[in-house]
Amino acid sequence: MLRVGSAVERNCRGASRREILQVGGASALGLSLTDALRAEAAPSAGSAAADSVILIWLAGGPSQHETFDPKPDQPAEVRGPYGPIETNVSGIQICSLLPQLARVADKYTIIRSLTHGNPNHGYAPMLNGGSEHQTCYGAVVSKMLGGRGPMPPFIHLGGKIPMDAGTLGAAHNPIEIADPTRGEVNIPDSRPPARVDAGRMERRLRLIESFDLLRAQVETNNVLQARDSSYQRAVELLTRPEVRAAFDLTREPQKLRDRYGASIFGQSCLMARRLVEAGTRFIQIQWTERGGGGWDTHGTVLSGILEMEQYLCPRFDQAMATLLRDLEEKGLLKKTLIVAIAEFGRTPQINNRAGRDHWPHVFSAFVAGGGTPGGTVIGSSDPRGAYPANRPVGPGDLAATLYKIVGLNPLVEDRLKPFARGEIVHELQ
């Protein structure tokens, strides 16, 4: 496992800083590297609609009412203060906090009937498909399909997610980039810490310079060389010209970088598109910030759901709409599955802090690309947005569908069954 950068994870349980560049055990990293290199010649899955996946984890759990399932006909304490907006698909309304996504609704599907029973923050069941294995989607895809080209098969962007390859082994853990907008580098296990001198750090130092620094450290630091040759090999992988270039956001036109937004999330989406273009099989983005309460909008940091209006929805709206357009303009949307999910949704009733609390019984997901239909809504919630009204979709169903779209059929492949025990959502195929 290799991590670059640092970021803060945050929800109502508190915040923690996750450091930064870590190298897993020698054998683990060696396998990961070997797999990545071996995968250069690996064929893509035969029946796959999608060659790559961008999975977006909206940490904290967005309100369905203030995103994709507005309830304007409900009382004020249910509907919230933000009215709906018409989309470019007749009959589909979303929350008015997402005006740019409203204009590209023909490119994505909304699932409005996701449901499970766990009201606590965590990555199960939504990131492991409800499996008993603590194994995330990306690791399963990495294990089953390997990589495409020279790129590592599984890359994570944003604050660390403590659910990785689990029983599949550390070889399928992701390479982790904590913040694509910064170049902060630390190697926790080295003595003394090989931290970039703060005086040398310019604002928004390019991530790519961090890779150069890593390489220089490996070449000049005998202690590191003696300690962990796998570290050197990992750096070797990341500093290969074609791989290095995939991480270099400065190669993008400034205007396009602006369109994605300067937020960590916006630039993570842009990097995801570059990684797809370079052949990365699975990119996982965790919503990451430098302050605030994230999507966990109980009303404990700013009043109520004000965070949705101030920065959460604007950042999400700008980056996602741009990602869809950008992938389409580059001819990549049809072969790239994009899924945005979270651990749960929010309560239908607004609390006395004008916020909403955890609610797993019904919430929404965003799905686009990879041959999925656009301009569609699957399932519906009841009038208050409290429970599925029809077509309930569970975490296992979403998992089975995701794997099917990338060419792994959980109905026929025994090795996949432990990770996808639901039914395929056929409307998404």
47 vs 303 by CB, closer to another protein: 303
Assess 289 for contact with another protein (CB under 8 A). Answer: yes
Assess 317 for contact with another protein (CB under 8 A). Answer: yes
Q: Name which position in 32, 217, 318, 347 contacts another protein (CB under 8 A).
A: 318
Q: Is residue 10 within 8 Å of residue 160, measured between CB atoms?
A: no
- Please state the closest distance from residue 428 (CB atom) to another protein, in A: 28
What is the distance of C-alpha 9 from the center of its chain?
14
From 97-105, 109-117, 118-126, 399-407, give the range in contact with another protein by CB under 8 A: 97-105
Sequence-distant (6+) residues with CB within 8 A of 209 are 183
- Please state the closest distance from residue 35 (CB atom) to another protein, in A: 35
Find the length of the chain.
429
Q: Name which position in 25, 83, 193, 383 contacts another protein (CB under 8 A).
A: 83
Q: Is residue 106 within 8 Å of residue 88, measured between CB atoms?
A: yes
Pairing between β-strand 363-369 and β-strand 108-114 as defined by DSSP bridges: antiparallel
Assess 90 for contact with another protein (CB under 8 A). Answer: no
Q: Name which position in 38, 40, 47, 77 contacts another protein (CB under 8 A).
A: 77
Distance CA 230, CA 217 (A): 14
Nearest to 416 by CA among 135, 125, 115, 111: 135
Sequence-distant (6+) residues with CB within 8 A of 419 are 128, 129, 131, 133, 135, 140, 399, 403, 410
176 vs 307 by CB, closer to another protein: 307
Distance CA 309, CA 355 (A): 12
- Please state the closest distance from residue 96 (CB atom) to another protein, in A: 5
Helix axis angle, 229-238 to 26-38, nearest 10°: 30
Q: Is 250 helix (H, G, I), strand (E, B) or coil?
A: helix
Looking at residue 52, what DSSP letter applies? E
Q: What is the largest CA-CA distance in the chain?
A: 68
Residues 114-153 that bind another protein (CB under 8 A): none
From 34-42, 116-124, 126-134, 314-322, give the range in contact with another protein by CB under 8 A: 314-322
27 vs 310 by CB, closer to another protein: 310
Distance CA 141, CA 403 (A): 8
For 259-393, list the strands marked E by DSSP: 282-286, 336-341, 345-346, 358-359, 363-369, 376-378, 380-381, 388-390
- Please state the closest distance from residue 282 (CB atom) to another protein, in A: 26
From 42-50, 78-86, 164-172, 397-405, give the range in contact with another protein by CB under 8 A: 78-86
- Please state the closest distance from residue 232 (CB atom) to another protein, in A: 31
Assess 9 for contact with another protein (CB under 8 A). Answer: no
Residues 25-64 that bind another protein (CB under 8 A): none
Give the up-direction half-sphere exposure of residue 204: CA atoms within 13 A in the CB hemisphere: 8
- Please state the closest distance from residue 97 (CB atom) to another protein, in A: 8
Residues 188-217 that bind another protein (CB under 8 A): 203-204
- To the nearest 10°, the Cα dihedral for 277, 280, 282, 288? -70
25 vs 81 by CB, closer to another protein: 81
From 30-38, 237-245, 261-269, 408-416, give the range in contact with another protein by CB under 8 A: 261-269
Q: Name which position in 26, 42, 85, 170 contacts another protein (CB under 8 A).
A: 85
63 vs 115 by CB, closer to another protein: 63
Q: Is residue 174 within 8 Å of residue 2, measured between CB atoms?
A: no
Nearest to 347 by CA among 298, 294, 293, 287: 298
- Please state the closest distance from residue 194 (CB atom) to another protein, in A: 21
Q: Is 152 helix (H, G, I), strand (E, B) or coil?
A: coil
Pairing between β-strand 282-286 and β-strand 175-177 as defined by DSSP bridges: unpaired
Assess 352 for contact with another protein (CB under 8 A). Answer: yes
Q: Name which position in 19, 86, 209, 382 contacts another protein (CB under 8 A).
A: 86
- Please state the closest distance from residue 216 (CB atom) to another protein, in A: 24
From 9-17, 146-154, 389-397, 411-419, give the range in contact with another protein by CB under 8 A: 9-17
Q: Name which position in 44, 100, 349, 376 contacts another protein (CB under 8 A).
A: 100
Residues 228-257 that bind another protein (CB under 8 A): 254-255, 257
Task: Give me the residues that bind another protein (CB under 8 A), please.
Answer: 8, 10, 14-15, 72-73, 75-77, 79, 81-86, 96-97, 99-100, 103, 203-204, 254-255, 257-259, 261-264, 289-293, 299-304, 306, 309-311, 314-315, 317-318, 350-354
